[in-house]
C-alpha cells in the first residue's frame, strides 16, 4: 500500500470522515485499495462500527461486496463485532445478506460466535428467508457455534426461534456435546430444559458425558448426572465414563459417577429394605432405628473409622459387602498417594455409600452389621459405642440423631 492508501485505512479505523473524503476526492486514493489481508477501508470501518466514515465510503461507491483473504465481507465483519448500526447501514445500502465466508459462516454464525444478540434480533426481525439452522462447511449451525463459545444469550435467542437442537456436525457432535466439552454448565442446563437428547453419540460413540468427564469438567458432569444420563454408556473403544475419570485422576467426578451408578442400581431393588444390601440377622436386636439428619457428624465418624480403625484391605471388603462393583472399587483405588492411601479410599467409599442410605435408615446400624459381616468386630464395637460416647456430653454437645444406639 502507498502512503495515501495507508492514510485512508487509518481514517476508516479512526472514524475520520473528513480525512477520508479529502483522500478520496482530492488525493484520488483508490477507495477499494486493500491491505495485506485484502481488506478495504469499508471492511475496517464496518468492523469498528464507524458509521460516519462508512457513509462517506458508501456514498463514493466503495465495493460493498468486497471479500478479504478469508472471504469476509463488510456485513460479516460488522456482525462478528456486534456493530448493529453498521449492519443496518450496509443492509440499507443494498448489500447481499445471504453471504458466507470461506468457512461457510453466515451473518448469524458471526453474530452467535461473539454473543451479539442485538445483531441477531435485527436479522430475525428485519431480514427475509433467514434459516437459523443453516450449516457452515463443518456442518455447524449458529446454535452449535453459540454453545461451543459459551454464549448463553445467543443460545437462548436461537432457541426462541426454534433452532434445531439435535443437528450433528461432521464429527457427529450435537450442541450438547460442545457445551459439555467446553465447560459451559449453564448452557448444558438450558439445552436440557429445551428437550435436547441426553445421550446422542458422535462418531466415536461418545455421549456428552464422556466429553465432560474426559476434560474434568465437574460442574458439567454434575448437571448431566442430575438429568439421568446413561452412566453406563461406552465409547467405541469400550471405555466407560468411570474408567475415563479414574484414568484422569478426577477424584470428585469418580465419586459422583459411582453415586449415580449406585442410585440407578438401587431402583432395581426392593425399596423397603434398609440401605441396598442389608445383612439379615446381624445384631438386629442391639441397634435401634434413627432418623439420621446430621451429615457432618456422620462424616466425622466415617473419617475416624477409615483412618484409625480399618485395616488396609477392610475398605474393599466393606465395598463388596455393600455391592460396589469391581470397576467402582478400582476407580476409587486408582488415586494413590502412598502407603496410607487406603485410608482416603475407605473414607471416599463410605461417603459414596452414605449417599445412598435412605433417610429412614440408621447408617450406624448398617455400618455395624457390615463390620461384623467382614469379621471386624472390634471396629464394629467402636461404632456401637460411639453415639453413647457423644451422648455423655464429653467434649461436645449431644447429636440427637446419633444418640439412639442401645
Report the domain count for the chain: 3
Q: Is residue 111 part of a domain?
A: no
CA dihedral 68→73→78→84, nearest 10 degrees, is 170
The whole domain housing 182 covers 165-266
Q: Is residue 33 part of a domain?
A: yes
Residue 260 pLDDT exceeds 90:
yes
State residue 267's pLDDT score.
60
Interval 291-328: pLDDT, tens: 444 678 888 999 999 999 999 999 999 999 999 999 99
Looking at beta carbons, which pairs linking 236-243 to residues 24 or more positions away fall under 8 Å?
Answer: 236/204, 236/205, 236/206, 237/204, 239/210, 240/327, 241/209, 241/210, 241/213, 242/327, 242/328, 242/331, 243/327, 243/331
State residue 358's pLDDT score.
85
The Cα–Cα gap between 55 and 406 comes to: 88
What CATH number should be reported for the domain holding residue 37?
A: 1.25.40.20
Interval 167-204: pLDDT, tens: 999 999 999 999 999 999 999 999 999 999 999 999 99
Interval 370-381: pLDDT, tens: 999 999 999 998
The answer to whether 293 and 390 have CB atoms below 8 angstroms apart is no
Whole-number average pLDDT of the chain: 89
Q: What is the pTM of this model?
A: 0.82
Q: Is residue 126 part of a domain?
A: no
Are 253 and 312 found together in one domain? no
Domain finish residue from 102, 137, 156: 102
Are 190 and 238 found together in one domain? yes
Give 30's contacts (C-beta < 8 A, 6+ positions apart).
5
Are 393 and 355 found together in one domain? yes
Residue 132 pLDDT exceeds 60:
yes
The Cα–Cα gap between 223 and 181 comes to: 13
Interval 59-104: pLDDT, tens: 999 999 999 999 999 999 999 999 999 999 999 999 999 999 999 9
Q: Is residue 131 part of a domain?
A: no
Are 299 and 207 found together in one domain? no
Residue 399 pLDDT exceeds 90:
no
Amino acid at each position: 500500500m502507498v502512503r495515501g492508501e495507508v492514510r485512508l485505512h487509518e481514517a476508516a479505523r479512526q472514524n475520520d470522515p473528513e480525512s477520508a473524503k479529502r483522500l478520496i476526492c482530492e488525493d484520488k486514493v483508490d477507495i477499494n485499495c486493500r491491505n495485506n489481508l485484502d481488506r478495504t477501508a469499508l471492511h475496517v470501518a464496518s468492523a469498528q462500527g464507524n458509521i460516519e466514515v462508512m457513509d462517506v465510503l458508501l456514498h463514493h461507491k466503495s465495493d460493498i461486496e468486497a471479500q478479504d483473504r478469508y472471504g469476509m465481507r463488510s456485513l460479516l465483519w460488522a456482525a462478528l463485532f456486534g456493530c448493529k448500526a453498521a449492519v443496518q447501514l450496509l443492509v440499507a445500502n443494498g448489500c447481499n445478506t445471504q453471504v458466507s465466508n470461506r468457512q461457510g459462516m453466515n451473518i448469524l454464525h458471526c453474530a452467535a460466535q461473539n454473543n451479539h444478540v442485538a445483531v441477531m434480533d435485527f436479522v430475525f426481525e428485519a431480514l427475509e428467508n433467514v434459516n437459523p439452522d443453516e450449516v457452515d462447511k463443518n456442518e455447524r449451525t449458529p446454535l452449535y457455534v453459540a454453545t461451543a463459545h459459551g454464549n448463553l444469550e445467543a443460545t437462548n435467542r436461537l432457541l426462541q426461534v426454534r433452532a434445531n437442537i439435535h443437528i450433528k456436525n461432521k464429527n457427529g457432535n450435537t450442541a450438547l456435546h460442545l457445551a459439555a466439552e467446553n465447560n459451559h454448565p449453564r448452557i448444558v442446563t438450558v439445552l436440557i430444559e429445551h428437550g435436547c437428547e441426553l445421550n446422542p453419540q458422535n462418531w466415536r460413540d461418545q455421549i456428552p458425558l464422556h466429553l465432560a468427564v474426559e476434560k474434568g469438567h465437574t460442574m458439567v458432569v454434575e448437571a448431566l448426572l442430575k438429568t439421568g444420563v446413561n452412566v453406563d454408556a461406552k465409547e467405541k473403544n469400550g471405555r466407560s465414563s468411570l474408567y475415563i475419570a479414574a484414568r484422569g485422576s478426577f477424584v470428585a467426578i469418580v465419586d459422583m459417577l459411582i453415586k449415580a451408578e449406585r442410585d440407578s442400581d438401587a431402583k432395581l431393588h426392593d425399596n423397603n429394605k434398609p440401605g441396598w444390601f442389608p445383612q439379615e440377622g446381624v445384631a438386629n436386636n442391639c441397634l435401634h432405628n434413627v432418623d439420621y439428619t446430621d451429615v457432618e457428624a456422620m462424616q466425622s465418624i466415617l473419617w475416624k473409622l477409615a483412618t484409625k480403625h480399618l485395616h488396609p484391605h477392610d475398605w474393599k471388603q466393606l465395598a463388596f459387602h455393600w455391592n460396589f462393583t469391581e470397576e467402582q472399587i478400582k476407580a476409587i483405588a486408582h488415586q494413590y498417594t502412598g502407603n496410607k492411601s487406603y485410608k482416603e479410599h475407605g473414607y471416599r467409599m463410605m461417603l459414596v455409600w452414605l449417599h445412598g442410605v435412605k433417610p429412614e435408615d440408621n447408617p450406624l446400624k448398617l455400618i455395624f452389621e457390615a463390620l461384623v459381616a467382614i469379621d471386624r468386630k472390634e471396629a464394629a464395637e467402636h461404632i456401637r459405642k460411639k453415639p453413647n460416647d457423644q451422648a455423655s456430653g464429653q467434649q461436645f454437645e449431644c447429636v440427637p440423631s446419633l444418640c439412639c444406639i442401645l
